[in-house]
Amino acid sequence: MRTKSLIRWLDATVAAVAVAVVIGGITRLTESGLSITEWKPVSGVLPPLNATDWAAAYASFLQIPQAQTVHLGITLDAFKAIFWWEWVHRLMARVVGLVIAVPFFWFWARGQIPAVLRNRLASLPLLVVAQGALGWYMVSSGLSVRSNVSQYRLVAHLALALVILVVALWTSATLRRGANSGANAGANAAANSAANSIANSASSARLPWGPVAEAFAVWVFAVILSGGFVAGLRAGKIYNTFPLMGGHVVPPGYWQLTGFFTNAFENPAAAQFHHRVLALITVFAAIAFWLWASVAPAPPRVVTALRNVALVACVQVALGVATLLLAVPVAIAALHQLTAVALLGAAVLAAHAARRRT
């Protein structure tokens, strides 16, 4: 019973983080992220409640550079529309914090967290606090000089959210495997088996394709972050054709900025080109990896996990192309981001399936 409760909590954490990431993506797509110019972790949970409050929030927004450029001439009603997206995003971030912290301290107080898991699970509430602080650090970069947030801080904010998701998902999968292996021995034995599974994972023997599966999961993580640079630079709004960009394989303006790293992470044309190339490599690699495991042959659980990765990767690329060709409609772009999270989850589960205990 203890193990099942921990699994449900971790699965709820994964779901909450995934929803928060998608809402954050919508906030970015609708240019809503700077509509709230203050960080009030507690009192900020309440939106403006009357005309005076709305007027104050609107006046504060009009003072920042984005209101004088991207949202030039914005009305109060239009401001309210973007305000609500950012407010929902911040509210969801608080929900993630509650989903993580409340059960964790409950389990901790009741002594229901196996000793081998304490440090790992204790990192979750710490990471979510860091995520909130990093979110404000990101927003603050667009309140004075810039008309948008720093793409570097945006990607860091996204990366930390994904780290929280991966920690919860990996631990849930390990607990589930341990619970299944000890299901016939009773609840306590199942919990001990789950804990032992985690304790042994650091020194476990891997199947021949295990390291490749783990490397692929890291690769998917990096590809998602490359998409964060596309979003941060608004690079999806240019070169809305596929497979060529401006009639060329390598787009005009690719070397617009001086310096390799500056150009790669600050030039919208380069950011979109890199994301395209990385995404195509990802889908072909996912299919090849699945076929390789099928003929190796790999254990059925590994083949199934890699098949799931390949299927999600195909859907993800299709959504990416649709997002590009349609000039980044919010609904399809948000679905593209949700599928990216699903692909990372599938890759993490495949890496977990490819690992076995000695």
- Segment 289-294 shows an average pLDDT of 92
Q: What is the mean pLDDT of residues 230-242?
A: 94
Cross-strand pairs, 355: 206
pLDDT of residue 42: 84
Task: Provide the pLDDT confidence category of residue 1 given band limits of 50, 70 and 90.
Answer: low
Q: What is the pLDDT of residues 14-61, one digit of tens each?
A: 999 999 999 999 999 999 999 999 988 888 899 999 999 999 999 999
Give dist(CA 6, CA 191) in Å, integer: 10
pLDDT level of residue 187 (50, 70, 90 thresholds): very low
Q: Specify whether the CB–CB gap between 10 and 172 falls below 8 A.
A: yes
145 phi/psi in degrees, rounded to 5: -105, -45
Residue 245 dihedral angles phi and psi, to the nearest 5°: -120, 110
Range from 35-49, 151-165, 174-188 that averages highest in pLDDT? 151-165
**Banded pLDDT at 185 (limits 50, 70, 90):** very low
Residue 201, exposed/middle/buried by CB under 10 A (0-12, 13-18, 19+)?
A: middle
How far is 86 from 91, CA to CA, in rounded Å?
8
Q: Bigger pLDDT: 41 or 275?
A: 275
Residue 191 has pLDDT above 80, yes or no: no
- Amino acid at residue number 137: Y
Confidence of residue 181 (pLDDT cuts 50, 70, 90): low
pLDDT tens digit string along 195-216? Answer: 454 444 433 344 567 888 999 9
In single-letter form, the type of residue at position 79 comes to F
- Amino acid identity of residue 87, one-letter, is W
Whole-model pTM: value is 0.90
Q: What is the pLDDT of residue 44?
A: 86
Supply the Cα-derived Rg of the chain in whole angstroms.
22
- Give residue-wise pLDDT tens across range 118-136: 999 999 999 999 999 999 9
Round to whole Å and give the CA distance between 281 and 258: 27
In tens, the pLDDT along 307-341 reads 999 999 999 999 999 999 999 999 999 999 999 99
- Percent of the chain, pLDDT > 70? 91
Q: Compute the mean pLDDT over every residue in the chain, rounded to the nearest whole number.
A: 90
- Whether residue 132 contacts residue 247, with contact meaning beta carbons closer than 8 Å, is answered with no
- Does pLDDT of 190 surpass 90? no
The mean per-residue pLDDT over the stretch 101-125 comes to 94
What's the 3-state SS for the chain? CHHHHHHHHHHHHHHHHHHHHHHHHHHHHCCCCCCCCCCCCCHHHCCCCCHHHHHHHHHHHCCCHHHHCCCCCCCHHHHHHHHHHHHHHHHHHHHHHHHHHHHHHHHHHCCCCCHHHHHHHHHHHHHHHHHHHHHHHHHHCCCCCCCCCCHHHHHHHHHHHHHHHHHHHHHHHHHHHHHHHCHHHCHHHHHHHHHHHHHHHCCCCECCCHHHHHHHHHHHHHHHHHHHHHHHCCHHHCCCCCCCECCECCCCCCCCCCCHHHHHHHCHHHHHHHHHHHHHHHHHHHHHHHHHHHHCCCCHHHHHHHHHHHHHHHHHHHHHHHHHHCCCCHHHHHHHHHHHHHHHHHHHHHHHHCECCC
Q: What's the pLDDT at 205?
A: 40
